[in-house]
Amino acid sequence: MHAYATDTTSADLTLDVEALRSEFPALHQEVHGKPLIYLDNAATTQKPQCVIDTLVHYYTHDNSNVHRGVHALSERATTAYESVRDCIASYLNAEDRRGVVFTRGATEALNLVASSYVEPRLQEGDEILITTMEHHSNIVPWQILCERTGAQLIVAPISELGELDLPQTLELIGPKTRFVSVNHVSNSLGTINPVKEIVEAAHARGVRVMLDGAQAVPHGVVDLKALDCDFYVFSGHKVYAPTGIGALVGKMEALEELRPYQAGGDMIRRVTFEETTYNDLPYRLEAGTPHIAGTIGLGAALDFMLRVGPEAIAAHEATLLDHAHNLACDTKDLTIVGQASHKAAVFSFALDGIHPHDIGTILDTEGLAVRAGHHCTMPVMQQFGLPATTRASFGLYNTIAEVDALFVGIHKVRDIFG
C-alpha cells in the first residue's frame, strides 16, 4: 500500500501551481538577493495564508481554554478544537474520531505508544522490529525500552537502492516479536515501504504494528482502514500546519490498552487523595492544556490539502521528482542516494569529493533552501558509507523551474570545487 492513490484515471490531477504559490506568503521573498526557492519540505513546510489567518482569528476572537468553560469564547474554541478530530479521522479514513489523540508531533506519538503500550508488555528476550531506514525518533525510544527490559531490537535490512528487503523483513517477525514499528515513507531516501504486507504478516502472529506517517501524509492519500495498522502517527508541520502539533491515530481496541502517559488536566474524570478515575479516550491520553491554536491550524491545513486534492499533490510531486532524477542522470559525479522503485518527493544526493554542508552553503547563496546532513537517519548514512547527503524535498508549491534552478546551483558547486 503506497502513500498515494494509484488509480487516478478519472481525477483531474493538474495543479494551478502559481495560484497555489500566491497563498504562501513566505515564498515571496529574497535570500541573499535571490528569489527564495524552498526545497526543504521534508523538514517542515511553509504555511498557507488560510492557516495563518486561522491562528490570528483564534488569538484575536476565541482565545480561551477548551473543555472547561461555559462562556462563549471557551465554547467556540472547544467546538473548533474538537472538529479537528473529525477532520483527521475523515482525512485518513480512520476507524473512529475517538481514536485521534493530539500530540506535539510524530515524535511524541511514537514515544507515547512505546511507553504506554509496549513497555508494560516487554520481558527479557522479547523482540521489537524496526528497519534500517527509520528516523531516530523511531529508533531511540526502542533502544531505551530494550535497556530497561532486556528486550532486543531487531533491524530489517535495506538494499543498495534503499528498498526494504521484504522477504527477510517478514521472516524477522517471529515468535519473540512483540511489536513492529516502521516508517511509511523514508525521510532521507523517499522510499515508500510495503507497509500493508508488513501489517498483514505481523497480525497473522498476533503482533500490533505502528506506522510512522510523518512523510506519507503530506504527499498523497493515506487510508488507515485499508492499511489496517494499529497505530499511525504524523506531524502537522509537515502538512502545511503549525509546529508543535500532530496526532496518534489508532484502533479503539488498541488505544484502550494504553495506560496514561502523563497526568493532569483533561485526562481525569474524578480525583480524590485515595484514587483517581481516568477519563475516556482520547482525553485520558491528553494531559494538560493542549496546543489549541496549533490544533485548529492543523484542521485548516488539512482542509486546504483537501481543496487542492491529495491525488493531484502526489501526481505533481511525482513529476518534479522524475524531472530531478532525469537531470541527475546527466550530471557528472552526482549519485542519487535512494533509488527505490516507489518513492515520495525526496531527492537526496552526493557529489564526489564535496561535503554536503559545502553544497548546502553554496546553494543557499543562490536562494536555494535544501537540507544537508544525516537527516536524523545516521544508520542510513552508515549503510551508504556517507557522512551526510544533500536533500531537496518537494512540496505542492514547487515547480519544474525550481528543479532546474537546483541543478544550475549544483553545477555552480561543481565549478567552484573544480
Task: Tell me whether residue 45 is exposed, middle or buried, using C-beta atoms within 10 angstroms of its C-beta: 0 to 12, 13 to 18, 19 or more.
Answer: buried
* Beta-strand relationship, 152-156 and 389-393: unpaired
The amino acid at 360: G
d(CA 183, CA 283) in angstroms, rounded, equals 26
Residue of 190, 194, 191 whose CA lies nearest to 229: 194
Number of alpha carbons in the 13 Å side-chain half-sphere of residue 29: 9
d(CA 314, CA 97) in angstroms, rounded, equals 26
d(CA 404, CA 280) in angstroms, rounded, equals 52
Q: For the chain, how far is it from start to end, CA to CA, in angstroms?
A: 44
d(CA 257, CA 264) in angstroms, rounded, equals 19
For the question of residue 229 being annotated catalytic, the response is no
Task: Give, in degrees to the nearest 5, the angle at Cα 115 between 114 and 121.
Answer: 80
Q: What residue ranges in 327-370 does DSSP mark as E strands?
A: 334-336, 346-351, 368-369
Check 87, 229, 329, 376 and give the catalytic one: 376
Q: Name beta bridge partners: 211.
A: 182, 232
Provide the annotated active-site residues.
376
